[in-house]
Amino acid sequence: MISNQSMDETPESIEPAAGEDVNLPATLNVAGSTPELVADRHSDDLKIVMGEFEGPLDLLLHLIRQEQVSIYDIPVARITDEYLRYLHLMQNLDMAVAGDFLVMAATLIELKTKMLLPRDPFAPAEEEADPRNELVDQLLEYQKYKAAAQMLWSRATVERAVFKRAELETDKNNPEVVAGVFDLLKVFQEILGRHKDEVLLEIEREEISMVEMIERLRNMVMSAGELNLRVFFERARSRRELVLAFLSVLELVRTTEIKLFQRETFGDILARVTS
C-alpha cells in the first residue's frame, strides 16, 4: 500500500555568483563524470556543462544511497526536494544543466503529486499499481548498465596493472571511497548555506584570481598531505571566491595533480597529490 507523504517547502534558490573570464581547458573530470567548462556566447562568463556519465539517474541513485533507503521504497517527497536542491545549486553555479535533468525534475514533481493524492477506495487493490514502479525499473536497469561498465573498466585497469607495473598495496585498515561530483557539490552546498549571510556581505578588497586560487589549493594540499576540502572552502571570503574554489578543485582533478576520496561513504572529501 502506498502511503501519503507530507509536502515539504520548496527550497530557496541560491543567488548566482559573478562570473570571471578565466583561461581554463575545456574538460574537467571528477570521478567518472565529465563536466565541461565552456564560454557563454552571450557574455564573458563560463558555464559548467555536465557530462553524459553523471546524469539524472546518477543523481537519484546518489540521493537514495544518501537517504539509506531501499530502491524499491523510494521516499518520493524527500528525494524530489533533495533533487531540486541539487538542481538549484547546479544552476546557481552557472552549470548548463542538461535537458535530461529538467525532464527528471518534472517527472519527480508529477510522481510526488500522485503519491499525495488519496487512494480510490473503490478501486481494486490489484489494479492500483505503485506510481514509483516505472522509475524503480529505470534505476534498476541503469544500475545494471553502470555495474557492467564498471566491471569492464576494472578489468582494463587490472590488465594494465599486470602488464605494466605492480599494483601498490592499499591500507585495509584505512579504506578509501572515490569522491564524485555530486559529493563535491554537497560539501559546497553545505559551506555556502552555512555562511550564506557572511558571503553576501561583499566589501571592497583585492579579489583573488583563478590562477591564485588554484595555486592556493595546490600549496594547501602539498603542505597538508591530505587536505579536507571543507578547510579549503572555508577560507573563501565571498560567494565569488567560493565558486572559484570549487572550479579550482575541478581543474586540479582534471590535470590529475590531485585525487579526491573519502574515508567512508558520504564522509568528508579529502584531496591528496596524485602519486
Structural domain span for residue 49: 36-121+131-273
| pLDDT at 48 (0 to 100) | 46
Read off the pLDDT band of 216 (50, 70, 90): very high
**244 located within any domain:** yes
Q: Can you give the C-alpha Rg of the chain in angstroms?
A: 21
Q: Is residue 217 part of a domain?
A: yes
**Does pLDDT of 228 surpass 70?**
yes
- How high does pLDDT run on average in the chain? 68
How many separate domains does the chain show?
1
Could you tell me if residue 143 is inside a domain? yes
Instruction: Catalogue the long-range contacts made by 138-145 (C-beta closer than 8 Å, 24 or more residues apart).
Output: 138/57, 139/57, 139/60, 139/61, 139/64, 139/71, 140/71, 142/57, 142/61, 143/61, 143/71
pLDDT tier, 214 (very low <50, low <70, confident <90, very high otherwise): very high
pLDDT at residue 125, rounded to an integer:
59
Of 252, 181, 262, residue with least CA distance to 228: 262
List, as one string, the DSSP characters of 112-148.
HHHHHSPP-TTS-GGG---TTHHHHHHHHHHHHHHHH
Question: Can you tell me the distance from the alpha carbon of 184 to that of 252, in angstroms, rounded to the nearest whole number?
Answer: 14
Residue 220 reports pLDDT greater than 90: yes
pLDDT at 197: 54
CA distance 34 to 39: 16
Q: Does 78 fall in a domain?
A: yes
What the block records as the C-alpha cell of 91 is 544552476
Residue 133's pLDDT is what?
87
In a domain, 54, yes or no: yes
Please report whether residue 267 resides in a domain: yes
Q: Give residue 127's pLDDT.
A: 58
Is 15 domain-assigned? Answer: no
At 52 the pLDDT is 41
Write out the H or E segment, with its range, that includes residue 273: strand 269-273
Which pLDDT belongs to residue 186? 75
Exposure of 244 in the CB half-sphere (CA atoms within 13 A): 24
Q: What is the percentage of the chain residues whose pLDDT exceeds 70?
A: 56
Of 7-16, 130-139, 226-235, the one with minimum mean pLDDT is 7-16
pLDDT tens column, 141-163 = 877 777 666 665 555 444 443 33
What pLDDT, in 10s, does the model give residues 253-262?
A: 888 898 888 8
59 within 8 A of 182, measured Cβ to Cβ: yes
Interacting residues of 198 by C-beta distance below 8 A, sequence separation 6+? none
Q: Is the pLDDT of residue 196 over 80?
A: no
